[in-house]
Amino acid sequence: MIFEILTASATISPDVIYWKDLGIGPVAFEIGSFPIRWYSLSYLVMIMLGYWYLTKLIKVPGSPLSQQHAEDLILYITLGVIFGGRLGYILFYKPDILANPLDIFKVWQGGMSLHGGTLGVLFALWLFQRKNGLNYLRICDYIAVCVPFGTFLVRMANFSNGELWGRATDVSWGMVFPQGGDVVRHPSQLYEAGLEGLLMAAILWPLFWRTGVRYMPGFLFGLAAMIYGFSRFIVEFFREPDAHLVWVVQETGLSMGQWLTIPMIIVGIYLVVTAKGRRERVEPIAGEDSIA
């Protein structure tokens, strides 16, 4: 019933917003004849900003990482995002890509999964902590605080691409997307950018800088998973399901994105609830006295 209501046709009024009139598109700029796409640029800027912010975070007493660790970690995270995001998209949303193996590597055309990227980064962090003998959950906490850069930029890139638009609506800020037919739709990419990016930053950053929760392994990581999970779950009610996955909504009442988000919410709640019990004296990486 909810799906039918949200996908109902919306009448186009004379003052409707057309995405094509906003003056944006998939290409940010060109270097000669080589196009630099917003999608690719968002990943590059995400990694640069994430690294910059991580270097600020680790200067706070009690950091689980040294500057050298941060420099080494950036490669692990980059590979985790790219390979995890792409494989997650193929396995969860578009398995038919496997029929043309070369298409697997065409990441510049889009087709990345945040769920897959998350799993890829978590696996990369596990390899990194195993190699360096560090506390896994505390590393995850610090990386989680940097996540809002990525979630915001990638969703804005989705909007610039005119992809992953929302379901039909009659709200005044609805838009008509070129590939979405002659229908007014929710700009769900912007909803996700606001909730998964700006809201997450507004919650995690003050908690890191102004409280002692960074000394409770898993708290910030779990909270980030909860914020993303609940945000994505809610926005999925306004986001148009992929055409080849509409059957999931029709048969279960929830979209593929919502089903993949449920485990994140459960794990996040567990980590937050149990974090206090994991609090321990934290030894700064530089070898100074314990500070928490």
Half-sphere exposure at residue 192, Cβ-oriented, CA atoms within 13 angstroms: 28
Give the pair of three-digit tokens for residue 152.
């915001």
The average pLDDT across 194-223 equals 96
Question: What gap in Å lies between CA 70 and CA 58, rounded to an integer?
Answer: 8
| Confidence (pTM) | 0.84
Tens digits of residue pLDDT in 33-88: 888 888 889 888 999 999 999 999 999 988 999 999 999 999 999 998 888 888 87
Tens digits of residue pLDDT in 126-136: 999 999 999 99
Question: What gap in Å lies between CA 260 and CA 232, rounded to an integer?
Answer: 10
Give the pair of three-digit tokens for residue 173.
């800020």
Question: What gap in Å lies between CA 194 and CA 209, rounded to an integer?
Answer: 21
The average pLDDT across 198-224 equals 96
Helices marked H in the chain: 2-6, 38-57, 67-92, 114-132, 136-161, 188-192, 200-210, 219-235, 246-252, 256-278
Helices marked H in 134-242: 136-161, 188-192, 200-210, 219-235
Tens digits of residue pLDDT in 134-167: 999 999 999 999 999 999 999 999 999 998 899 9
Least-confidence region, from 157-166, 226-235, 275-284: 275-284
Mean pLDDT of the chain: 87
